[in-house]
Structures are given as C-alpha cells and as structure tokens.
Amino acid sequence: MFSSSLPRTVLCLAGILSVAAASPCSAKSSSGCGKALPAGQTLGGVTSINITSGGLERNFLVFVPPTYKTHTPTQLILSYHGGTKTALQQLQLDDLTSPEFNRDSFVVYPQGINDSWQGVPGVTIDDVQFTADLLDYVQGLYCIDRQRIMATGKSDGAGFCNVLACDAALSTRIAAFAPVSGAYYVDTLPCEPNTVAIPCSNARANIPLLAFHGGNDSVIAYLGGERKNACLPSVPHWIEAWAARENLGAANNTKPVAADTVIYQYSRPGEPNLVNLVYDSINGHDWPSTAPNADNENAGQAPTSFNATPMILDFFAKHPLTQLV
C-alpha cells in the first residue's frame, strides 16, 4: 500500500501557500489543481510526508484515492490517532483507505508529538497550527475541494477534533466532524460531569457533528468524571452543549441504528440532523466495526452490530462547507 518514495521534507511558512488561493477550475478548488502527483506517489497509495510547523518537524501520511483526477476538486478527510497510538495504527483501524468504503477521498493521518494531541492535559504542542500548516501544504500539492475538508479521530484524536471544531479559524475551514470515543477534557476541578462549563470559540453556528460513544467505555467513561487531573464531561452533557451552542434546542429525535445502538439527532428547520450522537450501550473504547479490528479484538471486546466508517462517510457527503472564507 505504501509508495516506495522516501518521506519528503518541506518548510511550511505562513504565506507561502494560501488557503484562499484557487486554480481557474472554481472558487472551491485548491491551488494544487492541475499539478501532477509528486514523483513516487501513486493512485491508491500512501506516502509519508514531513513538514515544519511551529519550529518542529512534523509528520503525516497521505492516502491518494484511486479515482483521483488532478483537475477535479476532491474531498479530504483528516483522521487523528488515539493517545499512545500512531498515524499508521489509525490508518489500519479506521478503514477509510479500504476500497470497500472509500475510493474517492484523500485521507490524511497526522502524527502527534509523543503520540498525543493538544487538548490532553499536559500537552503544550500547538497541534491546531500543525493542522493549519498541514492543510496549506496538502492544498498546494493536490486538487482539494475546499468545501469538503472533514475531520475524524479516535479517543484523544477525537477530543482533538473537538478542539478544532471549537477553534475560531479551523471551525470555518473544516466542514464537518466525526469524533469516535472522544476524550473531551475540560481543564477544571473539582469535576461535575453533568454541569461543567465547556469552553468553545467556534466561529460558525452550523457545525455538523456526528459523534460515537460506547456505554461500556472503561477508558473514557460515557458518564464522564475526573481523569488526568482534569474533567471529562459526560457525553450526554457534551453533546447537549453542542446542540445548545448551535441553537438546536434540548429536544432530540431518537432512532435505532442496530442492536443495542441508537442515534440522538438534533435538528432545526432546513438543517436536519446537524448534531448527532451514536450510542452503543454495550460497546467499549472501540472504533465500531462489524469486522475484527485492533480495538475489538482486545480482551473483553467484540465486533459491534454496525460500522462507523460508512456512517461517517455518508455524513461527510451530506455536509459540505457552505461558505468559504
């Protein structure tokens, strides 16, 4: 699956690549439209790339979809690994490079410093800036649809998706978010999981969100609590805070997804199912999949009755960014 090319190193400085730059194709096109794939990269292949961000050398993997055409603006999905995990392990977990589920979208797997992400207590690395620099680089290299930049992740990586959704700049650049088994730390104690104030500086009031969490998650408890000298809000409180933030009200539509699984959907006129939580009462700290994966093969775990990956891809397909900045 990996290309034979050596990792490339580039220096990303503010202003070299502009997010607003567009090719003659359309306003939604990135500046990489029309450029040939770099030497050694292939359709359907994965390449490791290094850039400099915040004075640090950073790394990410890029999956080029097998259907990619250099003049066609193409969706890009960011997928963030869990704590103590790696970009490669996230690629092997999320199935977003599987031809069964995805043949049409770029997938970028950023690597956290010390396998961790901003938002986790004690982490001081500016991963928000890394994400912005990474997007600048990738949009300058490939034909990326600026209206279809999406983000997902697992555990600490899912928590970082929340950090991005709550960032004034990145919340206007990333169209939709799908965190899985997320750790949504709030830097405060004592911890009141059902009432803790959750800070957020999102610059959009219509951020599409599809979250997943298991009722038997023994790592990031569904009901929240103190962890790493910080407070994890209960997942119901966290999703209700997002619904309130987007003026969706407290009422939700509850629908079955599969055995032991429901989805809570918050909507408003003209924007159905904008904020959503998929709750599997028996799932643990897993990326939900009906097939064996690195999560559900652990002791005490098992495949779920549904697959998160096609649900995420379907959600992303329905929620492009409606206004470019």
pLDDT number for residue 4: 33
pLDDT, one tens digit per residue, over 43-74 is 999 999 999 999 999 999 999 999 999 999 99
Domains of the chain: 8-317 (3.40.50.1820)
For residue 29, pLDDT beyond 50: yes
Lowest mean pLDDT among 127-136, 220-229, 300-309: 300-309
Q: Give the mean model confidence (pLDDT) for residues 317-325.
A: 91
Q: What is the mean pLDDT of the chain?
A: 92
Instruction: Look up residue 192 and give its amino acid.
Output: E
Q: Give the mean model confidence (pLDDT) for residues 163-182.
A: 98
DSSP 8-state class, residue 297:
T
Confidence of residue 24 (pLDDT cuts 50, 70, 90): very low
pLDDT, one tens digit per residue, over 95-133 is 999 999 999 999 999 999 999 999 999 999 999 999 999
pLDDT number for residue 46: 98
The pTM of this model reads 0.91
pLDDT number for residue 25: 53
pLDDT number for residue 19: 32
Q: Give the mean model confidence (pLDDT) for residues 177-195.
A: 98
Lowest mean pLDDT among 2-16, 77-91, 128-142: 2-16
% residues pLDDT > 70 (the chain): 92
One DSSP character per residue, 145-157 reads EEEEEEEEEETHH
Q: Is the peptide bond before 190 cis (omega within 30 degrees of 0)?
A: yes
pLDDT number for residue 23: 35
Lowest mean pLDDT among 22-26, 50-54, 99-103, 165-169: 22-26
CA 116 – CA 172 distance, rounded (Å): 24
Report CA-CA distances (Å) from 296 to 238, 287, 299.
25, 8, 8
